[in-house]
């Protein structure tokens, strides 16, 4: 995949990780004590409580890794000679060179075709002479 | 007729009746459309231009000059994004009712990131064109060299053959 598409995919991945992180944490967080007037909230069932402290760490590690990969992709951008005008000038130069080389190729091809015809004719004559057993001059 | 449930095909086929007899009597294909056109009730445009952020009502965070330094802006937008994510986490802990502003900021940064990446596409297209032209020039030069070499070999052959025959 080309690098801009990779960058776009990486941005979307960071967005996905972000909302997954916040959504999961909001959904699974144990209840907090709002004020001294209310009693302590009931503790969570053990399944959540066991793995819960690990989740923020893992998710933040994933977020930071995704951000670092984005930076690495940005560094890998082949940003050559800035400017639209420079690129358009280079395209014009390359087109001119391409035309010149194309014409040279065309000339060589025509010359080669002519020589091929000549050789074929000579070969035909030679074989005719051979078949008719004519002596060479 | 165009809005009937099962419209009949367009009647142009009658114009091509005599193609076998006289291939030149048929009408030419219509010229390519330019500008805006209507297709299945929708308006489309042949001039594909990425609409700028202001036209979509979104604030642009990176500078608007013609030649923007893509890498620098991408990196600074990425850092802003990480900062805003941390701010959102803080806000959710301290003042949970004020999340909306932070979420708006984060989505603004994402829109800017995507717009910046999309505006890089024409540059990529021109770079691809340059690369393809360079490859084509290289292949043509290679072909010219090959043909020259073959012609020289072909010109050597009859002379060698003549020499061999004369030696007999």
Per-residue model confidence as pLDDT tens digits over A17-38: 999 998 888 888 777 777 777 7
Phi/psi at A132 (nearest 5 deg)?
A: -85, 5
The number of folded domains in chain B is 1
Q: How many CB pairs under 8 A join A and B?
A: 96
Instruction: Give per-residue pLDDT as tens, B4-42.
Output: 788 888 888 888 888 888 888 888 888 888 888 888 888
Q: Which of A67, A60, A56 is nearest to A27 (CA)?
A: A56
Any domain includes B81: yes
Instruction: Look at B70 and A79 and tell me if their CB atoms are within 8 Å.
Output: yes
pTM: 0.73
Any domain includes B36: no
What pLDDT shows up at residue A135? 63
Any domain includes B116: yes
Q: Which residues in chain B touch residue A78, judged by CB atoms under 8 angstroms apart?
A: 127
Any domain includes B166: no
Q: Is the pLDDT of residue B67 over 70?
A: no
Average pLDDT, integer, range A39-50 = 65
Does A63 contact chain B (CB < 8 Å)?
Answer: yes
Surface-to-core class of residue B142, CB atoms within 10 Å of its CB (0-12 exposed, 13-18 middle, 19+ buried)? exposed
Give yes or no for a contact between B90 and A93, defined as CB atoms under 8 angstroms apart.
no
Provide the 3-class DSSP secondary structure of residue B36: strand
For residues B110 and B104, what is the distance between their CA atoms, to the nearest angstrom? 10
Q: Is the pLDDT of residue B105 over 50?
A: yes
What pLDDT shows up at residue A47? 57
Expressed in angstroms, the distance from the first to the final Cα of chain B is 88
Give yes or no for a contact between B96 and B61, defined as CB atoms under 8 angstroms apart.
no
What pLDDT shows up at residue B79? 93
Assign 3-state DSSP to chain B and report helix, strand, coil percentages, each to 5. Answer: 65, 5, 30
For residues A60 and A54, what is the distance between their CA atoms, to the nearest angstrom? 10
* Residue A13's pLDDT band (cuts 50, 70, 90): very high
Average pLDDT, integer, range A69-95 = 87
Q: Is the pLDDT of residue B99 over 50?
A: yes
Cα–chain center distance at B30: 25
What pLDDT shows up at residue A11? 94
Give yes or no for a contact between A91 and B127, defined as CB atoms under 8 angstroms apart.
no
Chain B residues touching chain A at CB-CB below 8 Å: 66-67, 69-71, 74-75, 78, 81-82, 85, 88-89, 92, 106, 110, 113-114, 117, 120-124, 126-127, 129-130, 133-134, 136-137, 140-141, 143-144, 147-148, 150-151, 154-155, 158, 165
Phi/psi at B45 (nearest 5 deg)?
A: -130, 140
Q: Which residues in chain A touch residue B131, judged by CB atoms under 8 angstroms apart?
A: none
Buried-exposed string A68-90: b where 16+ CB fall within 10 A, e elsewhere: eebeebbeeeeeeeeeeeebeeb
Q: Is the pLDDT of residue A103 over 90?
A: yes
Any domain includes B79: yes
Give the tokens for residue B120: 């890089």
Which domain does B71 fall in, by range?
56-142
For residues A56 and A29, what is the distance between their CA atoms, to the nearest angstrom? 10
Please state which of the ranges B69-73, B82-86, B125-129 shows the lowest mean pLDDT.
B69-73
What pLDDT shows up at residue B36? 85
Closest in A70, A87, A101 to B130, CB measured? A87
For residues B103 and B167, what is the distance between their CA atoms, to the nearest angstrom? 95
Which of A113 and B48 is assigned the larger pLDDT? A113
* Residue B1's pLDDT band (cuts 50, 70, 90): very low
DSSP state of A38: S
Instruction: Look at A75 and B113 and tell me if their CB atoms are within 8 Å.
Output: no
* Residue A62's pLDDT band (cuts 50, 70, 90): very high
- Rounded to two decimals, the ipTM of the complex is 0.75
Name the residue of chain B whose CA is nearest to A80's CA: B127
Length of chain B: 168
For residues A8 and B113, what is the distance between their CA atoms, to the nearest angstrom? 9
Instruction: Give per-residue pLDDT as tens, A109-129.
Output: 999 999 989 889 988 998 888
Average pLDDT, integer, range B30-56 = 80
How far, in Å, are A13, B36, B53, B69, B90 from residue B76 at the CA level?
Answer: 18, 38, 18, 11, 21
Q: CA of A96 to nearest chain B CA: how many angstroms apart?
A: 10
Closest in A4, A11, A94 to B134, CB measured? A94
Average pLDDT of chain A? 85
Average pLDDT, integer, range B47-59 = 73
Q: Which of B66, B74, B167 is nearest to B115 (CA)?
A: B74
Give the tokens for residue A72: 């690495």
**How many C-beta neighbours within 10 Å does residue A59 have?**
17
Q: Which residues in chain A touch residue B155, judged by CB atoms under 8 angstroms apart?
A: 115
């Amino acid at each position: 995949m080309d690098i801009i598409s990779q960058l776009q995919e990486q941005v979307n991945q960071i967005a996905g990780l972000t909302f997954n992180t916040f959504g999961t944490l909001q959904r699974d967080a144990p209840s907090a004590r709002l004020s001294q007037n209310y009693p302590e909230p009931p503790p969570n069932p053990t399944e959540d409580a066991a793995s819960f402290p690990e989740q923020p760490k893992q998710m933040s590690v994933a977020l930071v890794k995704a951000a670092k990969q984005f930076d690495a992709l940005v560094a890998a951008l082949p940003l050559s000679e800035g400017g639209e005008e420079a690129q358009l000038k280079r395209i014009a130069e390359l087109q001119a060179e391409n035309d010149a080389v194309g014409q040279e190729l065309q000339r060589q091809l025509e010359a080669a075709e002519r020589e091929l015809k000549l050789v074929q004719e000579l070969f035909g004559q030679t074989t005719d002479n051979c078949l008719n057993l004519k002596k060479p001059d | 007729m165009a809005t009937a449930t099962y419209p009949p095909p367009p009647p142009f086929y009658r114009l091509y009746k005599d193609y076998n007899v006289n291939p030149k009597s048929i009408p030419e294909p219509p010229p390519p459309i330019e500008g805006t056109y209507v297709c299945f009730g929708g308006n489309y445009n042949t001039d594909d231009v990425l609409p700028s952020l202001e036209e979509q009502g979104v604030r642009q965070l990176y500078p608007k000059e013609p030649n923007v330094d893509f890498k620098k802006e991408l990196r600074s937008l990425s850092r802003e994004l990480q900062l805003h994510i941390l701010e959102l986490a803080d806000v959710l802990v301290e003042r949970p009712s004020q999340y909306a502003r932070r979420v708006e900021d984060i989505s603004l940064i994402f829109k800017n990131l995507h717009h910046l990446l999309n505006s890089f596409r024409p540059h990529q297209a021109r770079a691809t064109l340059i690369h393809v032209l360079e490859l084509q020039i290289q292949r043509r030069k290679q072909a010219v060299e090959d043909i020259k070499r073959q012609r020289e070999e072909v010109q050597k052959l009859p002379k060698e053959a003549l020499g061999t025959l004369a030696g007999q």
